[in-house]
């Protein structure tokens, strides 16, 4: 599993990482690329606004250094828990975000 991801240059530590491969056909048969990835990461009150701003962009620069993976990713699924970060009293309370990004090219 990958430990971190960069979304538009902002680094997030991952709780979970899954990838869905796509296999090339024809001349490049057997070559593997990533069709989409799903990641889970915690967001605290101190980074909530910055994270929301990044995710509202919908198409992101995605980098997973441990997988040597870089692509333009379109958010095709997103959800979070039920923690209200506006009401959090400190930066130790976190909500888990789950984001699925489809590889739309480089």
pLDDT band for position 24 (cuts 50, 70, 90): low
Both structure tokens of 37: 């990835």
pLDDT number for residue 31: 47
Q: Which of 6-10, 33-37, 52-56, 94-98 has the highest mean pLDDT?
A: 6-10
Domain total of the chain = 1
| Host domain of residue 10 | 4-24+31-105
pTM of the model: 0.84
Give the C-alpha separation, 74 to 61, whole Å: 9
Give the C-alpha separation, 58 to 99, whole Å: 11
**Mind listing the pLDDT tens digit for each residue in 42-95?**
998 788 889 989 999 989 999 999 999 999 999 999 998 887 766 667 777 888
Specify the CATH number for the domain of residue 14. Answer: 2.40.30
* CA neighbor of 83 nearest in space, from 40, 48, 53, 54: 48
Report in angstroms the alpha-carbon separations of 106 from 50, 64, 101. 24, 13, 13
pLDDT number for residue 95: 84
pLDDT number for residue 91: 74
């Amino acid at each position: 599993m990958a430990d971190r991801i960069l979304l538009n240059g902002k680094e997030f530590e991952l709780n979970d990482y899954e990838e869905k491969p796509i296999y090339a056909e024809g001349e490049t048969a057997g070559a593997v690329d990533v069709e989409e990835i799903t990641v889970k990461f915690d967001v605290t009150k101190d980074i909530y606004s910055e994270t929301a701003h990044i995710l509202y962009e919908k198409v992101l620069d995605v980098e997973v250094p441990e997988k040597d993976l870089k692509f333009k990713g379109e958010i095709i699924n997103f959800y979070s828990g039920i923690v209200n970060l506006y009401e959090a009293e400190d930066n130790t309370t976190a909500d888990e975000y789950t984001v699925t990004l489809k590889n739309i090219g480089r």
